[in-house]
A and B are shown apart, each in its own frame.
Chain A
Amino acid sequence: MNFSKVKTTILAGAMVFGLGVGQSSAETLKYAFQGSLKSLDPYSLNETFTLGFLGNVYEGLIRRGPDLNIQPALATSWEVLEPTKWRFHLRRGVKFHNGNDFNADDVIFSADRVRAEGSDLTTRIPKDAKFVKVDDHTVDVILTSANPILHYEWGTWSIIDKEWAEANDSVKVTSASDDNATKISLEANGTGPFKITKHDVGVSTSLVPNNGWWDTPKHNLTKIEFTTIASDATRVAALLSGDLDMVYPIPVQDLKRVDSNDGTRALIGPELRTIFLGMDQIRDELLESNIKGKNPFKDVRVRKAFYQAINIEAIKKKVMRDLADPSSIMISPFLFSNSGDFVRYPYDVAASKALLTEAGYPDGFEVGMDCPNDRYVNDEAICQAVTAMLAKAGIKVNLNAQPKSKYFAKVLASNSFETSFFLLGWTPGSLDSWNVISNLHGCRDEKGKGSPFNLGGYCNPKVDELAKQILVENDPAKRDGLITEAFRITTDEVAYIPLHQQGLAWGVSDKITLEQRADNQFMMYYVTKN
């Protein structure tokens, strides 16, 4: 059915029912995502979708452009006066949606609030950083130690209006355990390009442009309607039928259909999340293995044998249908300039077997594997492929794939890292290597102290030392050198087995143009519709 015919049908339908055609005017963007908007309080949940959505309503001192470069937003410029003292010049004449002026008090208020109890975004600002008001449009940040990436995560640190929050009993962060919803969790008052007009919790949210926005809008939208559609098939059908202009994510098996359909296209690109396998290297005996009295994963040869048994190209082609970029390190090449220096250990079953023999396991061994089945793109299928590949090297993997709610309850620190071999994904929130090195590679104790997300417990004091230096090194070239050194060590020691960066898959109607950001945040102010 061609497009004009569709239009006629719709028009005829509208006429028959005598309903306004104006509601489906050309500039209404209708889109759907798989998950729902949990709370409108920008500090309640550190999750890509929520932060991305609210990034259209609220703004930070900086923002990220289409290719994730840092742009000035509510701060027009900033300078590092001393290594531990930063000065931010705030944009003048900016107003919140309710008409209040934006000034230094709002920044200081937001800095306190984002670090307050109940906030899920406490990592945005170092705990001991002091915010000092110089004048109404200048703020100094005093640090206890140098931090070259201080502002990296500030694109998702929304500035809240102090007066509004105080007047509406919303000073306290709407925490995950709160009993009643505060105003800020149901309404929004930002400085951003769109205003929320209607928020039907868990179902749909409507926005209209903020005409008083300080920046020149690139979009031509007059209204936005967001809906949650959890079912994959329904979401795809809603796009194909023309009911929606944009939906994401598209399941990999439907990409072809979306692309070949008249009037829609699949927009794919590399995402920042790295999917990897981890191994318990801290216990003296694995929890789930037939090897007793010792832990085979403590031997680097075993870890390397696992690595080389994995046919990453097959996973890319068969499981991910080409929607993945095999990765040689634990961070997206997009986020680390020297990543080209690293190559994957080649897929080689013979070498893998030889390594296992050398390590004293000529007949392989048995190990349990934990895997989520609803968290990452085709996560369970990847684990099944890995299981089959390792079988060829003589390793018998007992796969335990479960929903994320069960999976995370089992493997995280709260359950004492009860896993021997697992699949996990990680996106550095700061878009920087330090986050990866410190969160995934730092030494930790059994409780997780030190590096709580290092589930396998890999530890090398040299890497810890490098992480400390990276954190305070202000010179970019030197810093990259240190990062390379750290990744060199962790790669040589096979701290993890990186698999790939999974792909973004958005379904887009030909009626709209947009920018696809690698962090999977959908910024509606880049959308034009005709």
Chain B
Amino acid sequence: MLAFMIRRVFQSVIVMFVVALISFLLFRFVGDPVNQMVGIETTPEQRDALRVQLGLNDPVLTQFWRFIMGAVQLDFGTSYQFKQSVAAMIGKRAPATLELSLISAVFATVVGIPMGVYTGLKRDSWLSKMFLTVSLVGISLPTFLIGILFIFVFAVQFQVLPSFGRGEVVDLGYWNTGLLTASGLKALILPSITLGLFQMTLIMRLVRSEMLEVMRTDYIKFARARGLTRRAVNFGHALKNTLVPVITITGLQLGSVIAFAIITETVFSWPGMGLLFLNSVQNVDIPIMAAYLMLIGFLFVTINLIVDLLYVAVDPRIRVTGVEL
């Protein structure tokens, strides 16, 4: 068990190293940061001097080594455009992204599960068919289109919800939250639905198929035969047994919700990490890009590591053979 864990952790470190290497190599092709940092009239000599100061003329390996050494100490350098510590900037933007991701995940589960249960139990009702049609839209329409549609309907046409931003934010020291003000809550509605729509659809379809499966099993028939109420059978026995895969999927998806918040954040001008990342791509702000990619890489690696370890705890067969996963 211990050997397995150590091996897994070691593998995760290798993955992180590869992520760092690949992202670092990618930056060689995004363009010249210096031209984004100075005005057009800056002379070539000044530009060259800047390039030297930033260490952009050093050999790639030297630059990579410097980057890794910094990253190990959680020092991702200074943003080229904003002249601020990247770690601090990402830290400041993280609450916006995490709040948005969390709320959208809550939305996806709270709406997705009941819809799944309903469509699973009443397969032929017109409401079920409508839910399924809507879910098809959620799966097939790209996020940015849904976001823009929402903005035009609810912000421009009916003017009931804000079209961009986080609304008023309360600063709590290390955390800033939009959950405590009315405008902050209103601002959360459209982006979180946009971001959570896909997950909601996924959960709904998952719950539905699990429900259909479970309803056919013997113990449900037996429960009915015992004369239990419909509610007890549906929710107490059936739903409970469908939830295991749902929880696994939701957990795994949380990583991608955070990572894919980029698009939603751009459409709603949501001041989170994703927007910061996209902006830094346009401006060749390599330190921010690098730190963000490392962070997302770390997130996925951690989630997968936890899942792996949980499987070991749950499934004794892995414990014996050790490396089958």
Indicate with 1 or 0, residue by residue over A158-202, a CB within 8 angstroms of chain B CB atoms.
000000000000000011111111000100000000000000111
Of A292-300, A341-349, A404-412, the one touching chain B = A404-412
Closest to B53 in A: A177
Q: Restricting to A10-37, which residues have a CB under 8 Å from any CB of B?
A: 10, 13-14, 16-19, 23, 32, 36
Chain A residues within an 8 Å CB radius of B72: none
A16 — which chain B residues lie within 8 A by C-beta? Answer: 182
Question: B159, A1: Cβ atoms under 8 Å?
Answer: yes
Structural contact, B41 and A405, CB atoms closer than 8 A? no
User: Is B165 positioned at the interface, with any CB of A under 8 Å from its CB?
Assistant: yes
Residue B40 at the chain A interface, CB threshold 8 Å? yes
What interface size band does chain B fall in?
A: 35 or more
Across-interface contacts of B163 in A (CB, < 8 A) = 234, 237-238, 241, 243
Q: CB-defined interface of B179-205 with A at 8 Å, one 1/0 digit per residue? A: 001110010000000000000000000
Q: State whether B156 touches A178 (Cβ < 8 A).
A: no
B182 adjacent to A46 (CB under 8 Å): no
For residue B279, which residues in chain A have a CB less than 8 angstroms away from its CB? 36, 202, 230
The A-contacting residues of B in range 104-162, CB under 8 angstroms, are 148, 151-152, 155-160, 162
Q: A9-B159, A227-B269, A243-B162 are in contact. Are A185 and B44 (CB under 8 A)?
A: no
In Å, the complex CA distance between A238 and B167 comes to: 13
Q: How far is the CA of A231 from the CA of B274 in the complex (A)?
A: 13
**Is the CB–CB distance between B269 and A439 below 8 Å?**
no
B238 contacts chain A at the CB level, 8 A cutoff: no
A241 lies within 8 A of B82 (CB): no
Of the listed stretches A323-331, A332-340, A445-453, A521-529, chain B binds: A445-453
Chain B residues in 8 Å Cβ range of A203? 271
Q: How near does chain B come to A484, taking the closest CB pair, in angstroms?
A: 24
Residues of A within 8 A of B295 (CB): none
Of A233, A414, A426, A452, which one neighbours B32 at CB under 8 angstroms?
Answer: A414
Is B268 at the interface (CB under 8 A from chain A)? yes
**Separation of A174 and B50 alpha carbons in the complex (Å):** 13
- In the bound complex, residues from chain B placing their C-beta under 8 Å from that of A17 are 182-183
A429 interfacial by beta-carbon distance below 8 Å: yes
**Closest beta carbon of chain B to A486's beta carbon, Å:** 19
In the assembled complex, which residues on chain A have CB atoms less than 8 Å from the CB atom of B38? Answer: 45-46, 120, 176
Contact of A176 among B80, B89, B158, B186 (CB under 8 A): B80
CB distance from A263 to the nearest CB of B (A): 11
Give chain B residues whose Cβ lies under 8 Å from the Cβ of A409.
31-32, 35
Across the interface, do A234 and B164 meet the contact criterion of CB distance under 8 Å? yes
Q: Which of B89, B269, B278 has the most CB of A within 10 A?
A: B269
Interface residues of B in 77-103 (CB under 8 A from A): 77-78, 80-85, 89, 92
Report the minimum CB–CB distance from B149 to chain A (whole Å).
11
Contacts of A19 in B (CB 8 A): 181-183
Please report the C-alpha to C-alpha distance between residue A200 and residue B276 in the assembled complex, in whole angstroms. 12
CB distance from B69 to the nearest CB of A (A): 15
- Interface presence of A242 (CB below 8 A): yes
0 or 1 for each of A112-132: is its CB under 8 Å from B? (1 = yes):
000000001111000000000
Is B43 an interface residue when CB atoms closer than 8 A count as contact? yes
Given A19-B182, A19-B183, A414-B48: A405 touches B40 (CB 8 Å cut-off): no
In B281-321, the 8 Å CB interface with A consists of: 282-284
Distance from A14 Cβ to chain B, minimum over Cβ atoms (Å): 8
Contact (Cβ within 8 A) A181 B83: yes
Kindly list chain A residues whose C-beta atoms are within 8 Å of the C-beta of B271: 200, 202-204
In contact, B269 and A230 (Cβ under 8 angstroms): yes
User: Quick one: CB contact mask for B15-51 with A, threshold 8 Å, 1 for yes?
Assistant: 0000000000000001111111111111110111011
A6 on interface, CB distance cutoff 8 Å: yes
Nearest Cβ distance between residue A262 and chain B, in whole angstroms?
A: 11
| Inter-chain contact A180/B82, CB cutoff 8 Å | no
Chain B residues in 8 Å Cβ range of A228 = 269
Query: Which residues from chain B contact A38 at a C-beta distance below 8 Å?
Result: 81-83
Q: Report yes or no: B151 in contact with A234, Cβ–Cβ below 8 A.
A: yes
Q: Do B37 and A176 have beta carbons less than 8 Å apart?
A: yes
Given contacts A243-B155, A406-B31, contact A227 B164 (CB under 8 A): yes
For residue B157, which residue of chain A has the nearest CB?
Answer: A1
Residue in A47, A404, A447 whose CB lies within 8 Å of B44: A447
Please state if A9 and B160 are interface contacts (CB–CB under 8 Å).
yes
By a CB distance below 8 angstroms, the chain A residues around B80 are 176
Verify if B267 is at the interface (C-beta below 8 Å from A): yes
Does B242 belong to the interface (CB within 8 Å)?
no
Whether A237 contacts B152 by the Cβ 8 Å rule is: yes
Q: B34 — which chain A residues lie within 8 A by C-beta?
A: 176, 414
Given contacts A9-B160, A237-B163, contact A405 B282 (CB under 8 A): yes
A229 at the interface (CB under 8 A from B): yes
Question: In the complex, A329 Cα to B180 Cα: how many Å?
Answer: 57
- A7 nearest CB neighbor, chain B only: B159
Is B31 a contact partner of A179 (Cβ separation < 8 A)? no
Answer yes or no: A57 CB below 8 A from chain B CBs. Answer: no
Contact residue among A10, A47, A415, A447 (Cβ-Cβ distance under 8 Å from B39): A47
- Asked if residues B160 and A201 are in contact (CB atoms below 8 Å), the reply is no
Residue of A nearest to B29 (CB): A406
A39 at the interface (CB under 8 A from B): yes
Residue of A120, A227, A237 touching B42 (CB-CB under 8 A): A120
Question: How far is it, in angstroms, between the C-alpha of A452 and the C-alpha of B271 when the chains are bound?
Answer: 38
Q: Does A358 make an interface contact (CB < 8 A)? A: no
* A240 on interface, CB distance cutoff 8 Å: yes
Judged by a CB distance under 8 angstroms, whether B234 is at the interface is no
Query: Is A374 interfacial (CB 8 A cutoff)?
Result: yes
A154 CB → nearest B CB, Å: 15
Q: How far is it, in angstroms, between the C-alpha of A180 and the C-alpha of B266 when the chains are bound?
A: 28
> Nearest CB to that of B154 among chain A residues?
A241
Shortest distance between the CB of A387 and any CB in chain B (Å): 23
- The distance from the CB of B256 to the nearest CB of chain A, in whole angstroms, is 22
| CB of A346 to closest CB in B, whole Å | 31
Tell me which residues from 360 to 397 in chain A have a Cβ below 8 Å from any Cβ of chain B. Answer: 374
Query: In the bound complex, do residue B30 and residue A405 qualify as a contact, i.e. CB atoms below 8 Å apart?
Result: yes
Q: What's the minimum C-beta distance from A64 to chain B, rounded to whole angstroms?
A: 18
Residue contact A408 to B32, C-beta cutoff 8 Å: yes
Tell me if A65 counts as interface (CB < 8 A to partner B).
no
Nearest Cβ in chain A — how far from B70, in angstroms? 11
Contact A46 B39 (CB under 8 A): yes
7 A/B residue pairs, CB under 8 Å, sorted by A: A46-B38, A234-B268, A237-B151, A241-B159, A406-B30, A406-B32, A448-B44
Closest 5 CB pairs of A and B: A46-B39, A405-B31, A17-B182, A409-B32, A177-B53
Extra inter-chain contacts (4) besides given A122-B46, A231-B269, A237-B164, CB under 8 Å: A1-B159, A230-B279, A404-B31, A404-B36
Which B positions have Cβ atoms within 8 angstroms of A? 30-44, 46-48, 50-51, 53-54, 77-78, 80-85, 89, 92, 148, 151-152, 155-160, 162-165, 168, 181-183, 186, 266-269, 271, 275-276, 278-279, 282-284
- Which chain A residues have a beta carbon within 8 Å of chain B's beta carbons? 1, 6, 9-10, 13-14, 16-19, 23, 32, 36, 38-39, 44-47, 120-123, 174-181, 185, 200-204, 227-231, 233-235, 237-238, 240-243, 374, 403-409, 412-415, 426, 429, 439, 447-448, 452-453
